[in-house]
Every structure is written in structure tokens, then in C-alpha cells.
């Protein structure tokens, strides 16, 4: 095996690990969005959440981690869809924002 083949194999393994980890983070983000929506008395629509971006970020203590931005849709009255955003740093929820919406 050449050095080039080893590097390609290493990169493919890293990509596989990142994809596998992102699936776990997505499931956690979906559960957090569901809990947040229930607590705010709104309904998460379609039982889905979408990854919209990733980058590096720091927590309050200055520790580095991967910041993931997710979007989801919710409704308060059943008549109109609204956007929500959820931000995680590593496994921890750092921010949730719901678009202004009607209260039923």
C-alpha cells in the first residue's frame, strides 16, 4: 500500500465517522426541539430538523467545539408554519429561537 492510498483510506474513514456522528447529533437536536416546542405550547411540524451549518465555536468557559445550526418548522394555531432555529455546541444546546408567532 502506498502513502497516497493510506491517506485516501484515512480521509474516507474520517468522513464516515463525521457522517455517523452527525446522525447522532441530529437525533439529539430533534429531541431537544420537540421538548422545547412542547414547553412553549407549540407543535413541531413534520417531526424533522435540518442541519443548516457547522463551524467551530467556544463555550462560556472558552472550550472549543463544533457548533451546529439546525432549522425546524412549528405551528402555534395549526394554520400557519413558522421557523425555529436551534444551536448546539458539541452535545449541549446553546440557543433556541422561534420566529414571532400568533398565540392561540
Q: Is position 104 within any domain? A: no
In the three-class reduction of DSSP (H, G, I as helix; E, B as strand; rest coil), residue 95 is classed as strand
pLDDT in tens, 46-89: 988 999 999 999 888 888 988 999 999 999 988 899 999 999 99
Beta-strand pair 82-89/43-44:
unpaired
59 contact partners, CB below 8 Å, separation of at least 6: 65, 89, 90, 92, 94
pTM of the model: 0.78
Give the Cα separation of 96 and 33 in Å (integer). Answer: 8
Question: Which pLDDT score, from 0 to 100, does residue 82 have?
Answer: 95
Residue scoring higher pLDDT (27 or 104):
27
Is 77 within the bounds of a domain? yes
Does a structural domain hold residue 11? Answer: yes
pLDDT at residue number 47 = 86
- 65: Cβ contacts below 8 Å, ≥ 6 apart: 56, 57, 58, 59, 89, 90
Q: Which domain holds residue 85?
A: 3-98
Amino acid at each position: 500500500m502506498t502513502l497516497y492510498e493510506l491517506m485516501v483510506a484515512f480521509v474516507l474513514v474520517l468522513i464516515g465517522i463525521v457522517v455517523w456522528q452527525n446522525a447522532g447529533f441530529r437525533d439529539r437536536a430533534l429531541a431537544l426541539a420537540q421538548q422545547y416546542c412542547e414547553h412553549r405550547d407549540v407543535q413541531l411540524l413534520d417531526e424533522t430538523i435540518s442541519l443548516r451549518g457547522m463551524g467551530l465555536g467556544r463555550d462560556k468557559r472558552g472550550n472549543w467545539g463544533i457548533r451546529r445550526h439546525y432549522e425546524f418548522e412549528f405551528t402555534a394555531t395549526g394554520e400557519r408554519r413558522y421557523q425555529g432555529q436551534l444551536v448546539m455546541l458539541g452535545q449541549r444546546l446553546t440557543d433556541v429561537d422561534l420566529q414571532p408567532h400568533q398565540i392561540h
